[in-house]
Structure 1
């Protein structure tokens, strides 16, 4: 191609204009369908992404960069600014794609013909760039400016990114980074381009678009002071001041006259975080994995394999027609941000997980989205809906309107939409999110009003038995009165309610986020109907137009159910005082009901009673056999904690087990340890119970396998009813009857349990640097780690959270896993 026109001084000549048009045709033909190219004028130096009209105007006014002889506009991140200042040999030492990171973080800001790219505020083209474009130019300049004159290893931005990434990965304090920056500025040449402190360095998070919104909240959780209520001084419902008071007057901040809010909520906008998953070329293709690479062979491995996902697609064909539309899961739980439990403080985050990603990515911390962070010290309880209003509003916008998003893997724009599939929480938080009371006689949300429970007078608690109604109608257990509760069972299993059935039940039930409903609650108690409704509120999730049609709306947490069942079995068979379910009150309840006469307490003198041993009761020799197996067990590193250290042979007890320890104990060790310590029929029942959880927690399940364990768990629970006392069967021992059915509907439990969420809460707790304002520390720490997780995708040969080696690494493999830029 003729390039002689580039050096012409008369840029208004026909030869120059024709040559320019030929160049623009060539550039856009090789731009892979993009509507912009990097401008090669003398002031842009191929740095800024502009439209054809802007590029033509720049080249005519400023001239073509004469050194740009090799036209390679097909490369999206091609930049010669580094070559101009650093020489051609600089890219070989540190090959981080920092310039590409900046481009993809901004989705190429809208640079139209009304602005110039030289940073000026006003010129013949009109006003200067907006704030977003200014940040874009600043980061590009930092990405191409050498750390110091003659430095061939790092640019200013690449060094800051690596420094902050190391801080996040290793848990450095903010002050330690400031001290290190001071030391480096003293050690490096005087012309080194380094920030003065950590506060200056962390401004990169805001420049890259990682921000959040903060709103004041009523200290009684009645409302948020946002939108039309932003300027109010007190709550319109309870009339409590939004500010802290001392001697009846609002307190002021230490510096300035700003009043100190009594409570706040921090909201992290969802749209830019979902957009960033597609704007980054490192993750964009993974967001289509569920549709393009998943093996659909009827096996349940991923939420996309489940009937819940497929039914959602069938009911919303306009949504499912675009495979890049995002399906989300939501989880929430409270935690104390302090390292000691002696300080009563409950911080509540709301976390979102994108399920479009493949299984090895979707439940990993770098891809979690912290959506809402609610201040303590008190938990929001049922009023958590008040704080989720901004998130629900954004989810409705993402459902109805969507947001324009750039797909870096396909080099095209599309309309991104998102939907919420279900929630994940422990059982108390289940009540806060769903509105159904998980306490009392009707505690089971699956059985709903048909929950079968009995009040134990002596134990002062409800027990949940009646599992015989889940058996086939001809099963022999239905007629067995002596072994169970003294009655025959002719009832049927409760029908599973659809979202529409639940919505009909909620007619007349008030919300906890609408001002008019909260006022009604303040004026008078809500009258219960004849059936005594156990709905405490109408959940805010029903504002989502598709929510009532979801097959699964709220998941039962397998982790906590398994842990509670394991604890009850362990404490009961060991007879641990104050923890066993077989005590004097339990035996008196059996006596009151006229059941199992050999186990009734025998009065011996004043205030003394003898409890005859039950079939599951271990004597001292049996306890020694049971605990010795656990004491001598050896497992691979990382398999579980050292359970043998928790066993106390002298006291014949075990303590300090964590949730995952109970997971291993229930599925692997309990059947082995109990085999020689308990009677055969007790061991068989326990083995069946543990096998149920082992099959349920498998990473790969066939629907036929889940149907088998669904039938088997009913029989197992009935066998356990014949063995253990009535007080043993709390609601946690009842809930396993519904777990296999949920797995058949929603798929593998690894995507719907609290293990990864609980680990993430520990990560959030580690962000706390200022104990006086823990939530603010968590928000800033999350933004920094979120930013560094994004930047780490563009770092090469660097250990990150995405590619860190295994705990016991033998050095035989390079950095990088299937979802990293290895």
Structure 2
């Protein structure tokens, strides 16, 4: 194929002129060199210091807070001590996904950016867009597919140079020059992208790249799809469900859990595999491997413990779709349909649910244990429709709920994340029997524990057993068509946390936010990738320069957050003990005056005294008095001290050894106070119930 776009010859134009005029490349790969961008991170003293955070400031107490706490990072350090001995050497992750630059959901155009994540930074910086590096911009309109390795060649050459030779770099924080090296730890992508980057086909009977050749799958003749069940192999060998034939597939399960292939094993398997890139006709390749990934050209890649990550974001979204569509029996979304019942009959399990042929060639079948009546569906939808969430925690999910039609659709990935973690448990508990509700509630609890920012390593053993039991319970409840590959993949997520650290560093949410920003750069719809490239370079230059601006200049690094409470700008004259914190929201900025009743005033005075550090000495003095004069358990003495301390302190403050400010405190607050309908303090919003009644969010209570 020609490297130039082919044009139709215009009438009257010579063939030679048409051949050499107006040559336009068929594809333009935009490469943003990685090496100078890594060097630039050390040119600013602040970012240069943060690049050593993982070694110098990270807590090393055995908990998983950062990829450096994971087994993959530690194994890499052991195998390459010359690399790990220099904490400024860079650990990278590669993230990629396709998007339509024209802000439509159509797949008519797919542009693929390749972004590099720097893991040397602390957790609050490493996934921010300011510290994510765009390395390649693969043009559309077609997805690169299996040919993505061709486009990755410039990046791989840079990574080889950074590993083998290193590059002289100036470190502004230490005022010295050193030789920087870099290593790619893993890739981050959705599951179709997993196939493109790894070379393992994520479709068909062996779609699970973690189970590889031992993937337990079965083709469903009537549903015309492959299901992935057999999760009993992940249970302990002495678990009672391994010998339960009736509730599962009619057989005992005595196999052990499959193990992941090591990189060295993959290299041996693919030694004789030949692949030709491009659109030419190729001989069909038998087996799940479609190519030997270009990442194996990196000298260390085969020894990496975790090479490609499963994306928790898309897994949660697909599981939530399956659960909601099946429970509400939504046409086109439910996994419990007539063909699924015929599959049950073919498998010879759950005879009560088999379809029964009736006159006219029609068939009818009994309801499943998870089937809901129209009233129960209304309750289920009503819970999600009426829910009020704290400001900023989630979008307005009620917009996606149609109570009358008993449907929920149009929600985004983060909505599914929030529903699966918190909301479905509430809706399920009031509408489904316990044997159905229990595994779904446990599933939400599993994902909640999995997505913690700090995880105890011993908790992962429990989560591995927990998800195996949950999926086995679901196998006893839902039809086989429910178990697509995305329902199977959670079985491997706990182990990936053990290897790579918390999921926040390895899921697609930051990448998707960056894609949204890249979409906003498109101005010339005829050349979307060119628009993105020009805007990214300008944005990159502004970001770099803004690090050197004075603090008084508003930049993305010192821009105040939405819930900034203006505490440093408060001009109210208060004492040094209690600073003015927070600001009112809308309405009357000066507040509405009102008189405090005696009880409220007493509570306010008590709070003031018990939260002032200089009063601690007098609290202990009063505690000794109460202890000597009051008989009874500790709670009786604590109650007596709380009730009597303010009056006792008022008398005690009359003595000369008490400061003037503490004497003022002893008299208590003014009878007149100010009331606000909304107030922002410590980064949180608080509303009165009357104010909340007019909103879709709840910030009261």
The answer, yes or no, to whether TM exceeds 0.5 is: yes
Distance 1:524 1:643, change over 3 A: closer
Tell me the residue number matched to 2:338: 584
Checking the alignment, whether the CA contact within 8 Å between 2:319 and 2:486 is kept in structure 1 is yes
Say whether 1:545 aligns with 2:263.
no
Checking the alignment, whether the CA contact within 8 Å between 1:590 and 1:596 is kept in structure 2 is yes
Which secondary structure state, in structure 1, belongs to the residue aligned with residue 29 of structure 2? strand
Say whether 1:776 aligns with 2:538.
no
Which secondary structure state, in structure 1, belongs to the residue aligned with residue 46 of structure 2? coil
Say whether 1:740 aligns with 2:494.
yes
Tell me the residue number matched to 1:240: 2
Tell me the residue number matched to 1:656: 410
Distance 1:263 1:620, change over 3 A: same
Between the aligned partners of 2:154 and 2:17, the Cα distance in structure 1 is 27
Say whether 1:789 aligns with 2:543.
yes
* Structure 1 segment 222-237 matched on structure 2, within 5 A: none
Deviations 1:469-500 (A, max 9, x none): 11122211111111111211111111222111
* Structure 1 segment 155-234 matched on structure 2, within 5 A: none
Distance 1:253 1:635, change over 3 A: farther
Between the aligned partners of 1:790 and 1:448, the Cα distance in structure 2 is 44
Deviations 1:566-620 (A, max 9, x none): 1101110111111100011101100111211111122333243223111111111
Pairwise CA distance, 1:505: 1.5
Deviations 1:91-149 (A, max 9, x none): xxxxxxxxxxxxxxxxxxxxxxxxxxxxxxxxxxxxxxxxxxxxxxxxxxxxxxxxxxx
Say whether 1:375 aligns with 2:139.
yes
Pairwise CA distance, 1:526: 5.2
1:354 is matched with which residue: 118, 126, 131?
118
Between the aligned partners of 2:59 and 2:15, the Cα distance in structure 1 is 60
Between the aligned partners of 1:375 and 1:321, the Cα distance in structure 2 is 39
Checking the alignment, whether the CA contact within 8 Å between 1:348 and 1:379 is kept in structure 2 is yes
Tell me the residue number matched to 1:559: 313
Between the aligned partners of 1:342 and 1:476, the Cα distance in structure 2 is 49
Which secondary structure state, in structure 2, belongs to the residue aligned with residue 295 of structure 1? coil
Tell me the residue number matched to 1:299: 63
1:452 is matched with which residue: 216, 229, 232?
216
Between the aligned partners of 2:164 and 2:419, the Cα distance in structure 1 is 47
Between the aligned partners of 2:368 and 2:107, the Cα distance in structure 1 is 42
Between the aligned partners of 1:252 and 1:722, the Cα distance in structure 2 is 71
Tell me the residue number matched to 2:653: none
Tell me the residue number matched to 1:389: 153
Checking the alignment, whether the CA contact within 8 Å between 1:279 and 1:407 is kept in structure 2 is yes
Say whether 1:324 aligns with 2:74.
no
Checking the alignment, whether the CA contact within 8 Å between 1:245 and 1:251 is kept in structure 2 is no
Checking the alignment, whether the CA contact within 8 Å between 1:275 and 1:406 is kept in structure 2 is yes
Deviations 1:755-795 (A, max 9, x none): 11011100000000000000000001111111111111122
Say whether 1:812 aligns with 2:574.
no
Deviations 1:79-101 (A, max 9, x none): xxxxxxxxxxxxxxxxxxxxxxx
Say whether 1:340 aligns with 2:104.
yes
Tell me the residue number matched to 2:428: 674
Between the aligned partners of 1:701 and 1:738, the Cα distance in structure 2 is 16
Distance 1:707 1:342, change over 3 A: closer
Checking the alignment, whether the CA contact within 8 Å between 1:250 and 1:260 is kept in structure 2 is no
Which secondary structure state, in structure 2, belongs to the residue aligned with residue 732 of structure 1? helix
Distance 1:753 1:342, change over 3 A: closer
Checking the alignment, whether the CA contact within 8 Å between 1:244 and 1:251 is kept in structure 2 is no
* Structure 1 segment 55-454 matched on structure 2, within 5 A: 239-247=1-9, 258-342=22-106, 344-454=108-218
Distance 1:360 1:524, change over 3 A: closer
Which secondary structure state, in structure 1, belongs to the residue aligned with residue 469 of structure 2? helix
Between the aligned partners of 1:721 and 1:523, the Cα distance in structure 2 is 42
Distance 1:776 1:584, change over 3 A: same
Tell me the residue number matched to 2:353: 599
Segments of structure 2 that go 5 or more residues without pairing to the other structure are 570-701
Between the aligned partners of 2:386 and 2:122, the Cα distance in structure 1 is 39
Q: Between 502-511 and 713-722, report the one with greater CA deviation.
A: 502-511
TM-score, with structure 2 as normaliser: 0.78
Between the aligned partners of 1:461 and 1:708, the Cα distance in structure 2 is 32
Between the aligned partners of 2:92 and 2:333, the Cα distance in structure 1 is 39
Between the aligned partners of 1:402 and 1:364, the Cα distance in structure 2 is 26
Pairwise CA distance, 1:502: 1.4
* Structure 1 segment 592-741 matched on structure 2, within 5 A: 592-741=346-495
Which secondary structure state, in structure 1, belongs to the residue aligned with residue 554 of structure 2? coil
Checking the alignment, whether the CA contact within 8 Å between 2:65 and 2:501 is kept in structure 1 is yes
Which secondary structure state, in structure 2, belongs to the residue aligned with residue 264 of structure 1? coil
Say whether 1:477 aligns with 2:261.
no
Pairwise CA distance, 1:246: 2.3
Which secondary structure state, in structure 1, belongs to the residue aligned with residue 37 of structure 2? helix
Tell me the residue number matched to 1:154: none
Distance 1:792 1:388, change over 3 A: same
Checking the alignment, whether the CA contact within 8 Å between 2:147 and 2:277 is kept in structure 1 is no
Between the aligned partners of 1:251 and 1:676, the Cα distance in structure 2 is 76
Tell me the residue number matched to 2:643: none
Which secondary structure state, in structure 2, belongs to the residue aligned with residue 279 of structure 1? coil
Tell me the residue number matched to 1:800: 555
Checking the alignment, whether the CA contact within 8 Å between 1:252 and 1:259 is kept in structure 2 is no
Which secondary structure state, in structure 1, belongs to the residue aligned with residue 179 of structure 2? strand
Which secondary structure state, in structure 1, belongs to the residue aligned with residue 274 of structure 2? coil
For this pair of structures, how many residues does the alignment match?
565
Pairwise CA distance, 1:251: 12
Which secondary structure state, in structure 1, belongs to the residue aligned with residue 170 of structure 2? strand
Deviations 1:206-229 (A, max 9, x none): xxxxxxxxxxxxxxxxxxxxxxxx
Distance 1:712 1:259, change over 3 A: same
Distance 1:468 1:343, change over 3 A: closer
Deviations 1:248-285 (A, max 9, x none): 9999999x955211211000001100000001123110
Segments of structure 1 that go 5 or more residues without pairing to the other structure are 1-238, 512-516, 815-822
2:269 is matched with which residue: 501, 505, 511?
505
Checking the alignment, whether the CA contact within 8 Å between 1:253 and 1:259 is kept in structure 2 is no
Checking the alignment, whether the CA contact within 8 Å between 1:478 and 1:488 is kept in structure 2 is yes
Pairwise CA distance, 1:384: 0.4
Kindly report the root-mean-square deviation, in angstroms, between the aligned alpha carbons of the 2 structures: 2.0
Between the aligned partners of 2:26 and 2:281, the Cα distance in structure 1 is 24
Between the aligned partners of 2:134 and 2:350, the Cα distance in structure 1 is 53
Which secondary structure state, in structure 2, belongs to the residue aligned with residue 331 of structure 1? strand
Checking the alignment, whether the CA contact within 8 Å between 1:244 and 1:261 is kept in structure 2 is no
Between the aligned partners of 2:348 and 2:5, the Cα distance in structure 1 is 60
Distance 1:772 1:697, change over 3 A: same
